[in-house]
Structure 1
Amino acid sequence: MTEKAHYHGHRKRLREKLNNDEQSLADYEILELVLGTVILRSDTKPLAKELLNRFGTLRGVLDAQDEDLLKLKGFGNSLVSHWKLLRELFSRYVESGLPKKKQLSSPAEVAEMARIRLGRKEKEEFWAAFLDNQNRLLSWERISTGTVNTTMIYPRELMEQALQRKASSLVIVHNHPGGNLTPSSPDIEITRHIVQAGRILGIRLLDHLIITADTYYSLKDEGHI
């Protein structure tokens, strides 16, 4: 008779703990259960603890770059794919909540949605939140994808999309993969061009946000809009 590996009983106890009181789970125990959906025949506790030791928090673990995750023993391509799925799930969860709000109270709400979506990206991406005349979200869309330190955006094309969606205003967002929040000269220049293009069409640029993994920079708050 084959003896069951010790981790089978451990996982059963963790699942019982989850079902009885999910908040009682330690961070590493949550990771154990997540890892166990992919790693079926090994003890996941050592890898769970190593992830937290290396990246500090659950947020750090989920935000970690793929190449850094792959450096850990036992973290293979299947887990990288699973991590991508988790990130996409969380991004869509946050994004799906915003349209239910009667009114967007602050660009900070867009910033948080964008941080989850863009904060860990290795290349710059440019997104736009198109809003109606009551600041309700009509659409949240990627406009362009660039390189590690630049992405192109054309004011005319952006305004065409705003008109197609019958938007009255918009918040534009892009990420800085290097973590530096300071806007570049092109960032400031393109913001001014978009403001000018929108003024002609009656479409207000409410803000231009620069996103990193931890925080954001508002060009409006800093006087560039």
Structure 2
Amino acid sequence: MPDAKKDTPHYQGHRQRLKEKLARNARSLADYEILELVLASVLPRRDTKPLAKDILDRFGSLKEALMARPDRLDEFKGVGEGVKAHWHLLQEVHARLGEASARRGETLSDPADVARAAMARLGNKGAEEFWAAFLDSKNRVIAWEQVSKGTINATPVFPREILATALRLEAAGVILAHNHPGGDPTPSAEDVRLTERIRETAEGLDIRILDHVVVTDREFYSFSEFGRL
């Protein structure tokens, strides 16, 4: 008669203990143990402890690991499309939670509100993306939309497209946002020129450009806070 205990993979008992530990006191789990359980949800028949430790060693922290672009996981043996799809899912959950302040009907009263939404949505992207929050006369969000997507250091933005959207939505104000994949939120000379062009065009349409925030995954720069709008 086969020995069921002997046939059970050694990591199954370990994984069950981790789940019990999670239920009792989630904060007691080490970062690699959290990552083990994340990986186990898509690799249930594999011991995910070595992989979790390898990923953490490579990226340096749990946050950096979970926010890594999915294609960067290709270097790890045994990571396939299922794991990468799971990473996309986790990052989309993170982005949507971070975008709570930019949801329709919310009132924006601080540049940090849009900055948080932009950091969650764009901070870990490998290419520049330009987004905008369109607001009514009471600074309530009408829409939070992608305007354009570009390369690692540039994205084509046409002021007329942003303002055409603002007119279509009957927006009274706009907050611009884009990311710098290089890790420095300081606006470039082109960022400054573009912001000024959009502001000047918007004035003629009686639309206010309230701010332009430039974000990375950790920091942001607000044109408004630095007196540049």
Q: Deviations for 1:116-154, whole angstroms, at most 9, x for unmatched residues?
A: 111111111110011112212111100111122111111
RMSD of aligned alpha carbons: 1.8
Q: 1:87-136 deviations in whole A, cap 9, x for unaligned?
A: 01211122245437752121111111111111111111110011112212
Quote the Cα distance in structure 2 between the aligned partners of 1:111 and 1:98.
10
In structure 2, the residue corresponding to 1:129 is in which secondary structure?
A: strand
Q: Does structure 1 retain, via aligned residues, the 8 Å contact 2:98–2:121?
A: no
1:90 paired to 2:94: yes
Asked whether the 8 Å contact 1:131–1:168 carries over to 2, the reply is yes
Residues 71, 84 of structure 2: 8 Å contact kept: no
Residue of structure 1 aligned with 2:187, choices 183, 186, 194: 183
- Residue 8 of structure 1 corresponds to 12
Kindly indicate whether the alpha-carbon contact (under 8 Å) linking 2:105 and 2:142 is maintained by their aligned counterparts in 1: no
Structure-1 separation of matches of 2:138 and 2:54 = 47
Aligned counterpart for 1:173 among listed residues 167, 174, 177? 177
Secondary structure at the aligned position of 2:218 is classed as coil
TM-score, reference length from structure 2: 0.90
Q: Work out the CA distance in 2 between the residues paired with 1:113 and 1:59.
A: 17
In structure 2, the partner of 1:25 is 29
> Percent of counterpart pairs with the same letter?
47
Tell me the TM-score normalized by structure 1: 0.92
Identify the residue that residue 73 of structure 1 maps to in structure 2: 77
Q: Larger deviation: 203-212 or 66-75?
A: 66-75
- Verify: 1:197 aligned to 2:201, yes or no: yes
2:43 — aligned with what?
39
* 1:205-225, Cα deviation, whole Å (9 max, x unpaired): 111111112211122233321
Q: Does 1:151 align with 2:158?
A: no
**Correspondence 1:130 to 2:134:** yes
Indicate conservation of the 8 Å contact 1:99/1:136, yes or no: no
Q: Distance in 1 between matches of 2:217 and 2:98?
A: 15
Stretches (4+) displaced over 6 A: none
- What's the counterpart of residue 57 of structure 2? 53
Unaligned residue ranges in structure 2 (runs of 5+): none
What SS class does the counterpart of residue 121 from structure 1 fall into? coil
Number of residues of Structure 1 aligned to a counterpart in Structure 2: 225
- Tell me the distance in 2 between the aligned counterparts of 1:212 and 1:67: 19
* 2:75 match: secondary structure: coil
